[in-house]
Chain A
Amino acid sequence: MADTKTSFRLKELSKKENLLESGHRMCSGCGAPIVVKQILMASEYPLVASNATGCLEVSTCISEYTAWKIPWIHTAFENAAATLSGVEAMYRAWKKQGRLDKDVKFIAFGGDGGTYDIGLQSLSGAMERGHDIVYVCYDNGAYMNTGIQRSSATPLGANTTTSPAGKVIPGKTQQRKDLTRIMAAHNIPYVAQGSPSHWRDLMTKARKAIAVDGPAFLNVLSPCNRGWRSATDDAILLARLGVETCYWPLYEIEDGKLSINFKPKEKKSLEEFMKPQGRFKHLFAPENASVLAELQAGIDREWNRLLAEAGEESK
């Protein structure tokens, strides 16, 4: 196990090479490349990456240009985990045959559509098989690349192009799927939720996930100003509010033991996270008060469940 105790210092990090080179075509203010940059920078191992079809993929490797300074493969939408499991299997073959001395680690990136929905089977299979890979979901809560369609990660009530806030139906009518818990149910050595706003926490988690021998899963909140209908420079602010409202609790499950990594002194109201986002605007109309209440109740229920599981008292 590599050293995961050393804290990350900005001074030293600033000297590290950025493995996702600037010049890629992600939207300005997008959370995803920040997430990827932080995670890649945290690794103590050389990495090979796999990428599901999606915003990150289409914007970082176009024609002859690539932003990736590490070996990278994209095949399709639903199979970043299966593709990476093949890469990792070939690595094991090379090691066995003495064709490679280095210890290499393998990391997949997929959005919530490619992970929660269409790629769930491929991800589950790869985790069950015990490949030494890390799967990172950058969760922006909808199919942003195709133009903001609802996914199973889209929060209740959110306005998307396929769950529009209409005259009769006020946005998405279902709660989000809790993918982090589903991954934890695979009993893999490491599962965690992170946020780029809490970069030291996220980088520590990435370092642990990469170093661990076996499969690991990171679910990372990734604000999308196009889909969230928020200001271009609010990604980190919104990610922070997501954490502080307990919409996106920071926790990790190491060998089955759950720890909460950030407990707000005063849990902020979910509305603080929602107000700056146009996708929730309609929920503040009086007739949708019940949706808002249901959302808050879901967040509270989940937070209390986490506290109980971590053996901590709820406030």
Chain B
Amino acid sequence: MAKMVAITGNEAVANAFRQINPDVCAAYPITPATDLMQRFAGYVADGEVDTELVLVESEHSAMSACIGAAAAGGRVATATSSQGLALMWELLHIASGDCLPIVMPVVNRALSAPLNIHGDHSDAMYCRDTGWIQLWSENAQEAYDNAIMAFRIAEHMDIRLPVMVNMDGFIISHSIETMEFLDDKKVKDFVGEFKAVNPLLDLDNPKSYGPLILTDYYHEYKRLQHETMGRVKDVVISVSKEYAKLSGRSYDLFDSYRLDDAEIAIVVLGSAAGTAKDVIDEYRDKGIKAGLMRPRLFRPYPYLEVADALKHLKAVCVLDRSDSFGGYGPVFMEVSSALYQLGGGPKLFNKIYGLGGRDFMPSQVEEVLNELGEIASGSPIKLVKDYLGVRE
């Protein structure tokens, strides 16, 4: 029987880890992800899992130990946020380059300076080119569901790549929501046995991991990584379909909300989508055809599917909870690239919102929808990139 609970995102994902019982977890505390791994440490201490928990002295070592453990041959997970993810950055490329299926919830948080512990998407966005698959979650339920699916996606024999499961710091990680847990057995059966590929611990067949490859083959190797990423989309779809049968919850490459007959739409990641959906409902009641796209799979980015889902719109605003100083927001850049291939398509602009945990308010959604309405009716775009909810 599925169990309804009132729980935080961190607790939910820690519980997913308990149900999955990874072979090795290496972790280091950082707000707001700390709470996730400390709850998991409690499961270890109580013997509810038999995971080898390696409590390292930095996130750099956490990811190094995860890579060592995954290469040794087993199921490996960790979690981090912000500066911790930034410190891991060097190793993220190595985890993906070595095809190691590590699962890492990233409890998204702003980056210093100035120091800020609250939620935004800067940490994961600045790691979008590390070769990791990125799944994004709207709420604790999806963070839990994504965490479970992440193991199946990462370990799929067609890809074998590490996966980040993103959830908004504090908003998802620390807010209590009503959600549903699957039975332990169902989760265990769904995730299945780990299948090791070229494990270091196969002593009879010694393998070398991490060679030096220079101008002769590096270029081919990197193209291979891109080709592998090309297979991820189908794996995500098939794993999500299988999970839907198990859980009754369907997930796609992105969440389309009242999008099919919409004329204007917002594209937004994570928890802000919930706020935006409420306001979109109000506008629909007023007869305004508004819709929303919430990306779930951000790496690899499903350009063709996004273009197809947005092509009929008159105007689209992409909201970014991270910035590229001197450039456009990262989600905007992807949507823009996707739509350009259409040779036409909706008018497009970008709003940066919610940096460092700044509240995302329904009034901001109204502001965006009103501007979308004007632009859809023929008004020019004033600023391609602008800031929402910023104090002048």
Contact = CB atoms under 8 A, between A and B. Distances in A.
Interface of A: 46, 48, 50-51, 57-58, 61-64, 66, 68-76, 78-79, 82-94, 96-97, 100, 102, 104, 121-122, 124-126, 128-129
Nearest to A96: B50
A86 B91 contact: no
A43 B65 CA distance: 24
Given A70-B206, A85-B68, A87-B71, A75 B91 contact: yes
Contacts of A129: 54-56
Contacts of B208: 61, 66, 68, 71-73
Contact of A82 (B24, B65, B206): B65
B390 interface: no
Interface stretch (B11-19, B197-205, B294-302): B197-205
B193 to A, nearest CB: 11
B260 interface: no
A128 B212 contact: no
Contacts of B68: 50, 73, 75, 82-90
A89 B69 contact: yes
B218 to A, nearest CB: 9
Contact of A94 (B54, B57, B74, B76): B74
B288 to A, nearest CB: 53
Given A72-B208, A90-B52, A122 B60 contact: yes
Contacts of B214: 62-63
Given A69-B206, A76-B94, A93-B52, 8 more contacts: A72-B207, A73-B208, A82-B65, A86-B71, A90-B76, A93-B23, A94-B23, A121-B58
Contacts of B76: 86, 90
Question: 10 shortest A-B CB distances, which residue pairs?
Answer: A86-B68, A125-B57, A86-B65, A90-B72, A74-B210, A82-B61, A82-B64, A86-B69, A79-B64, A66-B208
B-side interface size class: 35 or more
Given A71-B200, A89-B52, A90-B52, A83 B211 contact: no
B209 to A, nearest CB: 4
Given A61-B210, A73-B209, A78-B60, A46 B67 contact: no
B217 interface: yes
Contacts of A85: 26, 54, 56, 61, 65, 68
A205 to B, nearest CB: 24
B73 interface: yes
A87 to B, nearest CB: 4
Contacts of A93: 23-24, 50-52, 69, 74
A88 B52 CA distance: 10
A57 B94 CA distance: 15
Contacts of B211: 61-64, 66, 74
B58 A125 contact: yes
A125 B57 CA distance: 6
A61 B212 CA distance: 6
A76 B71 CA distance: 14
A63 B216 CA distance: 8
Contacts of B217: 63
A91 B50 contact: no
Contacts of A69: 206
A92 B68 CA distance: 13
Nearest to B206: A71
B24 A72 contact: no
Contacts of B210: 51, 57, 61, 73-75
B113 interface: no
B115 interface: no
A122 B202 CA distance: 26
Contacts of B206: 68-72
Contacts of A50: 68
B4 interface: no
Contacts of B1: none
A58 B214 CA distance: 10
B383 interface: no
B64 A122 contact: yes
Contacts of B65: 82-83, 85-86, 89
Interface in B36-59: 50-52, 54-58
B52, B201, B202 pick with most chain A CB within 10 angstroms: B201
A57 B201 contact: no
Contacts of A89: 24, 26, 52, 54, 65, 68-69, 72
Contacts of A64: 211
Contacts of A76: 64, 90-91, 94
Interface string B71-86: 1111010000000000
Contacts of B64: 75-76, 79, 82-83, 86, 122
A87 B57 contact: no
Contacts of B98: 75
B213 A102 contact: no
Contacts of A48: 72, 200-201, 203
Contact of A71 (B54, B70, B207): B207
Contacts of A82: 56, 60-62, 64-65, 68
15 contacts: A48-B72, A62-B212, A63-B217, A70-B203, A72-B207, A75-B98, A75-B209, A79-B61, A79-B64, A79-B91, A86-B68, A86-B76, A92-B52, A104-B201, A104-B203
